[in-house]
């Protein structure tokens, strides 16, 4: 599978709109996409970008239906249900389907070097007025190779186009990409890198999992049920998808950083970069690979919910649920890191209580996971009759089952993220408080509230005759 196959699947499912009206890469394209995402509209393929022949694809993951399409699952699954299927495929898979190296592929249809290397050839958007420039991608997989172990890492980074041959790369401190870069710095060498723009969307999901002895391509193929194909990029020798739309090959000098940003973050706010751009590593592009008539895949951010927030919510839901399964916490029915919380800050867990204190154990366990420990501000627990991503029912539980005095626990110190705009700007401590909200009916109550429920026999009859009523929903 490649990006074009995914786009065609979206079209067949009526989840794609081809925009033939000319749009400007400068703000107009991104604003049309943002308004469409906020209304849960279709993915967009802009076929006429001012000054360019290359189309731009946006909104890949903005609905649960498109997430399911990407995963090859039934289209009516909710975010929770899709995440559960992902977890089952990855945690219970006995054998990995190893990726296959090929010698040729569509990405090699055009190989540009020397003076032909010019990033201006692509309709790179500017997303928001205060952004520091044009961003060639916020969902770019950058391929790096550890010089000591030989292990390959696909990290997802934003990339600002600094000029016609250089991109700023947001490789954050402490992440694996930075650890690899420091090894090259110690060796006194530049770090080879290949940036993938437009590929099988599942590769981004695979990058969130740590599977011993497996590459992201192996995990992608295992979930797909067929071998993923990669080839060695001709300049850097790094593995890239054979069907990628665009690949930028070059080097990153670990001792040469340039100002990058600001950029409208997934929180819907800017960081301190707005006042003082922060120096970041720079990809010196030496070679461009691209398919004939390439498609530029663009993703904006800003306030939730965009396709990025859906992606973040899905991946963190899947990893958090997997960690809870591995901890053998009983009773967990569904998990959701809410896309409305920027896909990071709030989690809901549905559980079937089995003993007093069970719901508190689950909430504590969430914060004890790798996923829940970083940036999480709140955990809401609800009973098993409510699915974790059903916000309408979650708020019902908070209104009619939750008592603030009985059900609230405050935790003063927890690890936060530097992107959280709620942190004190005058403090350098990346710490946040946290809240646990127990919206479950207490297990130990002998007399529990009696819910007004519909008659199951009558419901079965109605569902069998639903088409006769002509209601059309």
DSSP string, 181-250: HHHHHHHT-PEEEEEEES--THHHHHTT---TT--HHHHHHHHHTS--EEEE-TTT--EEETT-SEEEEE
How many Cα atoms are found within 13 Å in the side-chain-facing hemisphere of 181?
Answer: 25
Report yes or no: 47 and 72 within 8 Å, Cβ to Cβ. Answer: no
Q: What is the pLDDT of residue 209?
A: 60
DSSP string for 262-287? ----TTSS--GGGTSPEEEEEEEEEE
Q: What is the pLDDT of residue 40?
A: 92
Domains 3-59+95-297 and 307-438 share a fold: no
Q: What is the pLDDT of residue 347?
A: 98
Residue 219 has pLDDT above 60, yes or no: yes
Report yes or no: 159 and 136 within 8 Å, Cβ to Cβ. Answer: yes
Range in 55-69, 146-160, 194-208, 428-442 with the lowest mean pLDDT: 194-208
Which tokens go with 27?
């703000």
Which residues 6+ apart lie within 8 Å of 148 measured at CB? 183
Which superfamily is assigned to 307-438 in CATH? UbiD C-terminal domain-like (3.40.1670.10)
* 407-446 per-position pLDDT tens digit: 999 999 999 988 899 988 888 788 999 999 999 999 999 9
Closest by Cα among 296, 295, 292, 297 to 107 = 292
Which residues 6+ apart lie within 8 Å of 177 measured at CB? 142, 144, 153, 155, 157, 171
DSSP bridge partners of 252: 191, 283
Question: What does the domain layout of the chain look like in residue ranges?
Answer: 3-59+95-297, 307-438
Main-chain dihedrals φ then ψ at residue 443, nearest 5 degrees: -60, -35
Question: Residue 313 is inside which H or E element, if any?
Answer: helix 307-326
Q: What is the mean pLDDT of residues 129-158?
A: 91
How many Cα atoms are found within 13 Å in the side-chain-facing hemisphere of 122?
Answer: 33
Residue 114 has pLDDT above 90, yes or no: yes
Q: What is the pLDDT of residue 91?
A: 62
- pTM for this predicted structure: 0.90
Task: Report the relative pairing of strands 296-297 and 278-290 from DSSP bridges.
Answer: unpaired
Which residues 6+ apart lie within 8 Å of 230 measured at CB? 99, 100, 101, 102, 217, 239, 240, 241, 242
Per the listing, tokens 């809240």 go with 435
Closest by Cα among 284, 112, 308, 314 to 193 = 284
Query: Does the 3-59+95-297 domain belong in CATH 3.30.830.10?
Result: no
Q: What is the pLDDT of residue 78?
A: 94
Which tokens go with 215?
């590459």
Which of the four pLDDT bands, split at 50, 70 and 90, describes residue 79? very high
- Average model confidence (pLDDT) for the chain? 92
């Amino acid at each position: 599978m490649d990006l074009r196959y995914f786009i065609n699947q979206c079209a067949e499912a009526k989840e794609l709109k081809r925009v033939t009206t000319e749009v400007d890469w400068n703000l107009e394209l991104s604003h049309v996409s943002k308004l469409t995402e906020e209304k849960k509209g279709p993915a967009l393929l802009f076929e006429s970008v001012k000054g360019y022949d290359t189309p731009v694809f946006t909104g890949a993951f903005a609905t649960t239906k498109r997430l399911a399409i990407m995963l090859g699952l039934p289209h009516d699954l909710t975010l929770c249900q899709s995440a559960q299927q992902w977890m089952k495929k990855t945690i219970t898979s006995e054998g990995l389907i190893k990726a296959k190296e090929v010698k040729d592929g569509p990405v090699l249809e055009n190989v540009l070097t020397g003076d032909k290397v010019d990033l201006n050839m692509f309709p790179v958007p500017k997303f928001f007025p205060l952004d520091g420039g044009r961003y060639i991608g916020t969902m770019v997989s950058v391929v790096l190779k550890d010089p000591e172990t030989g292990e390959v890492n696909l990290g997802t980074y934003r990339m600002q186009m600094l000029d016609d041959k250089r991109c700023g790369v947001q490789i954050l401190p402490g992440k694996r990409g930075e650890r690899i870069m420091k090894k090259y710095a110690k060796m006194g060498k530049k770090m080879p890198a290949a940036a993938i723009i437009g590929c099988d969307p599942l590769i981004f999901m695979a990058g969130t999992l740590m599977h011993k002895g497996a590459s992201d391509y192996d995990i992608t193929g295992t979930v797909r049920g067929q071998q993923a194909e990669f080839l060695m990029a001709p300049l850097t020798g790094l593995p890239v998808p054979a069907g990628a739309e665009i690949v930028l090959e070059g080097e990153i000098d670990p001792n040469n950083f340039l100002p990058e940003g600001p950029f409208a973050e997934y929180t819907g706010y800017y960081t301190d970069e707005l006042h003082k751009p922060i120096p970041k590593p720079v990809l010196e592009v030496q070679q461009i690979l691209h398919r004939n008539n390439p498609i530029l895949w663009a993703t904006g951010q800003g306030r939730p919910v965009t396709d990025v927030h859906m992606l973040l919510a899905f991946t963190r839901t899947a990893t958090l649920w997997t960690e809870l399964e591995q901890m053998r916490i009983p009773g967990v029915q569904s998990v959701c890191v809410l896309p409305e919380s920027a896909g990071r800050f709030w989690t809901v867990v549905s559980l079937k209580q089995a003993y007093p204190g069970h719901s508190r154990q689950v909430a504590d366990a969430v914060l004890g996971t790798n996923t829940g420990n970083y940036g999480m501000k709140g955990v809401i627990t609800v009973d098993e009759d409510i699915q974790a991503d059903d916000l309408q029912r979650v708020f019902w539980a908070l209104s009619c089952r939750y008592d603030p005095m009985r059900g609230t626990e405050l935790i003063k110190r927890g690890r936060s993220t530097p992107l959280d705009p709620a942190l004190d700007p005058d403090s350098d401590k990346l710490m946040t408080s946290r809240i646990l909200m127990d919206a479950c009916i207490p297990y130990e109550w002998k007399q529990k509230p009696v819910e007004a429920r519909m008659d199951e026999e009558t419901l079965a009859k109605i569902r069998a005759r639903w088409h006769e009523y002509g209601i059309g929903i």
